[in-house]
Amino acid sequence: MAGNLIVDTLYPVMGFAKPGELSNICGDLDIATGGAVCNNIMDLAALDPQLPLVALGRIGDDENGRYVQQQLGKFPNIDQQHLKIGGTTAFSLVLADEITKQRTFYTCSGANAQFCQEDIPWEELDVDMLHIGYILLLEKLDEEDAEFGTKMARLLHKAQSRGIKTSIDVVSETGERFRKLVCPALKYTDYCVINEVEASATTGIQLRTQDGKLRKENFPAALHKLKEMGVSTWAVIHCPEVGMGLDENNNLVEVPSLKLPAGWIAGTVGAGDAFCSGVTYAAWKGDDLKSAIELGTASAACSLSKPGSTEGMRSEKETRALYAKMR
């Protein structure tokens, strides 16, 4: 598991304020780990306490860095020995709207900005799959590369050349960088699991109308586009309404979201990463794509039950039982 390690400070607010307006912070602040490495690796550790996991990235020699180490250290199957330490740990301010349950992030890259291919101990790395995220939030790896397009694409190529399956995630941001930075990486990606906003920005195919209505009929075209852009095995798009993907034989799989009871959603901060964790875990196990998206859907539901990014995650058995109960 490689990429961003972040400490999030969550601010519960009663609606997002427009420019020049005020919104109340309506509860106590909450500190939690975030970022692709923290979220995914702790989700996977909870899904399967016997799964050997390796954390790769950079944290600061500071209080936040020690907090990250403490949280990862709660799981005996997470190997932290290859984390690079120095500088300032990345952090985010997360505004969590108590009305809509949506969230907005303001982030400082800190030590994450320096994470690069040279930080990965390739000769010591004994893994089947490398999941890395987030593209667009790892400055060194987002840099241009004359041969591969980006340094992220070069890293993914190196992993594949060593027989390691690759999985990517990207961050939802405003701007025009998606196609420039994501497209080169897709050429060396085996599993791509992204949300509808990120898929739209990457493929140019609109998956929601301007007023927010889902255009589910466009999902197959976007998935095929991701495959055309290089994804070798599974391309998956998720959103609150549905998870949909193309498998290794380009068979289309659609799994609707679960019917959650009233009051179930305590926060949405880690739901996307939880979905990704469920899918990639199933991929590692050799499950088919339908089973994988079902596990991802249930994992996201588990995450939604708690305000933090990872605290709602359960074992695979419990997560699949939740799916069977709420489908």
77 domain-assigned: no
Q: What is the mean pLDDT of each run of 10 residues along the chain (327 residues)?
A: 93 88 86 93 98 98 97 97 97 87 86 97 96 95 98 98 97 79 97 96 94 96 98 98 98 97 88 97 98 98 90 96 96
Task: Summarize pLDDT for 152-211 with one digit per residue, the tens.
Answer: 999 999 999 999 999 999 987 766 788 899 999 999 999 999 999 999 999 999 999 999
Task: Go through the chain and tell me how many residues it has.
Answer: 327
Host domain of residue 212: 36-55+113-326
Residue 3 lies in a domain: no
pLDDT at site 174: 63
Query: Is position 103 within any domain?
Result: no
pTM above 0.75, yes or no: yes
**Amino acid letter for position 164:** I
Q: What are phi and psi of 158, to 5 degrees?
A: -65, -40
Task: Please give the pLDDT value at position 175.
Answer: 66
CATH code assigned at 268: 3.40.1190.20
pLDDT of residue 56: 98
281: closest CA among 220, 198, 193, 222?
193
Q: Is residue 208 part of a domain?
A: yes
**Number of domains comprising the chain:** 1
Q: Which of 94, 130, 90 is nearest to 113 (CA)?
A: 90
pLDDT per residue as tens digits for the range 166-181: 999 998 776 678 889 9
The answer to whether the CB of 46 falls within 8 A of the CB of 23 is: no
Does 67 fall in a domain? Answer: no
- Write down the pLDDT at residue 268: 82
Is there a domain that residue 119 lies in?
yes
In the three-class reduction of DSSP (H, G, I as helix; E, B as strand; rest coil), residue 259 is classed as coil
Note the Cα 76 to chain centre separation in Å: 22
In a domain, 130, yes or no: yes
The answer to whether residue 272 is domain-embedded is yes
H helix intervals, the chain: 35-47, 63-72, 151-161, 178-186, 196-203, 219-228, 271-285, 289-304, 316-326
